[in-house]
Amino acid sequence: MAAVALIQGASRGLGLQFCKHILATKAQVTVVATCRHPEAAPHLRELSAQHPGTVTVLKVDVTREQDIRDAAETVKSTFGKLDLLINCSAMLHPSGKGETSLRDVSAQAVLATLSTNAVGPLVMARYFSPLLVKGSGGFGRQPQDQCQQHSGILVNMTARVGSIGDNGLGGWYSYRMSKAALNMTTKNLSIELGRGRPKIVCVSLHPGTVNTELSKPYHKNVPKDKLFSAQYSVQCLMNIIDSLSIEETGKAFAWDGSELSW
């Protein structure tokens, strides 16, 4: 049976590139691509037209639980399983720029950022983990020991600024808080979803600073060799995903494979 990968937040940037990369490099794979407004996602529609029967586009706003529940029911009835879930949707701040001081903080903005970046992926896990349990191990590395083999893989896209141990500059309250919360979500999920058999691998991945709309306001401060294309970042991240086993569950890794401190 073909492997099934769901990319949440697939209309542009990293999410769209994950779809393209998986379709180009994996044989017998089906991609489920979700975004808030499929009708306003021309690149995703084009990709779907290029791969008829292989790409399924679903409407999912991660701040709306009903959208997530409906999408999970569709994937269940259509495919019956899920091998890979990548949560890509993220916002820096409703204004598009991170807070530089307490004067910039508002409760509404913090809650909006947390809702998209941390709560959304948690609710995705709540509805899609039963399908990941039924995954056939189409992604990652399977050890010989059957007790250590995994079914599906759940990936949350984090950021280095979400590391408490690595925070030496401060600022960006909403974004830092949301990614720190997301890291805790990943750790919690790895414990609960690693208890049974088969087990689900849960990791946080940091893509580096990628040339996307989210990071655009800060490109001038990034050295050229540290501003990655989406293609390069996804290639690095997929190399990590393809090497994952249950031994890596509950950890956070940067694009270069180095482990990040919490």
Query: pLDDT digits over 87-132, tens only?
Result: 999 999 999 999 999 999 999 999 999 999 999 999 999 999 999 9
Q: Does residue 262 belong to any structural domain of this protein?
A: no
In a domain, 194, yes or no: yes
Quick one: average pLDDT of 57-72?
Answer: 98
**Is 213 part of any domain?**
yes
Cα–Cα distance, 28 to 113 (Å, whole number): 36
- The answer to whether residue 261 is domain-embedded is no
What CATH number should be reported for the domain holding residue 247? 3.40.50.720
Residue 135: inside a domain? yes
Query: Do 249 and 48 contact (CB within 8 A), yes or no?
Result: no
Total of domains in the chain: 1
Structural domain includes residue 44: yes
**Of the candidates 113, 252, 140, the residue with the CA atom closest to the CA atom of residue 187:** 252
Exposed (0-12), middle (13-18) or buried (19+): which is 39, by Cβ within 10 Å?
exposed
Residue 146 lies in a domain: yes
What's the pLDDT tens digit per position in 21-55?
999 999 899 999 999 999 999 999 999 999 999 99
How far is it, in rounded angstroms, from Cα 63 to Cα 108? Answer: 14
| 259 in any annotated domain | no
Please tell me the distance from the alpha carbon of residue 256 to that of residue 145, in angstroms, as a whole number: 28
Note down the domain range covering 167. Answer: 3-254
